[in-house]
Amino acid sequence: MKKLFITAIAAIAIGTSAFAAPASVSKYVAANFAASFTKAKNVTWKSNDQFDMVSFVIDNEQLNAFYGTDGELIGTSKTFAFDKLPKSALETITTKYTFPDYQLQDCIEFVNSSNEKNYYVSFGKKNESVVLEINRSGIVSVFSKTKK
């Protein structure tokens, strides 16, 4: 039993070091990440006053995980194909935000800690940027709009 316990501790120590986080990231966040994403590779961290973001690759897919200042997972994001959005959302977006006036910049799938999925699509226009939020039902709303 003692050998099993020591082996488990060693495995955790080795596994955690593979996800080495900078000093600005709490050990709690780093441990939560290591426990949740055991197959992560190419791990990089960014921190600010509101959250810690870790970028990584699993199964050849680039992901980001966001952790709050309390160390809890906020959610994960990944790039998403625009044409895979819900059909009703595509109809709304392509009618209101037409090319070439609006240029697609990013399309992201975000899954929060409650496993609720939303999509965020950003467009650039000559004098403004707009980010749309699309829920699973395909309802589109303006998440943010900024003038350039």
Q: Which of 3-7, 41-45, 114-118 has the lowest mean pLDDT?
A: 3-7
Percent of the chain having pLDDT more than 70?
84
Q: What's the total number of domains in the chain?
A: 2
The last residue of a domain, from among 76, 109, 133:
76
Residue 22: the pLDDT is: 63
| Global pTM value | 0.77
Residue 20: the pLDDT is: 57
Arithmetic mean of pLDDT, 87-101: 93
Higher pLDDT: 26 or 108? It is: 108
| pLDDT band for position 1 (cuts 50, 70, 90) | very low
Tell whether 120 and 143 lie within a shared domain: yes
Sign of CA dihedral 69, 74, 75, 77: negative
The last residue of a domain, from among 27, 47, 76:
76
Tell whether 141 and 87 lie within a shared domain: yes
Strand pairing partners for 9?
Answer: none
Residue 112: the pLDDT is: 93
Q: Which amino acid is at 78?
A: K
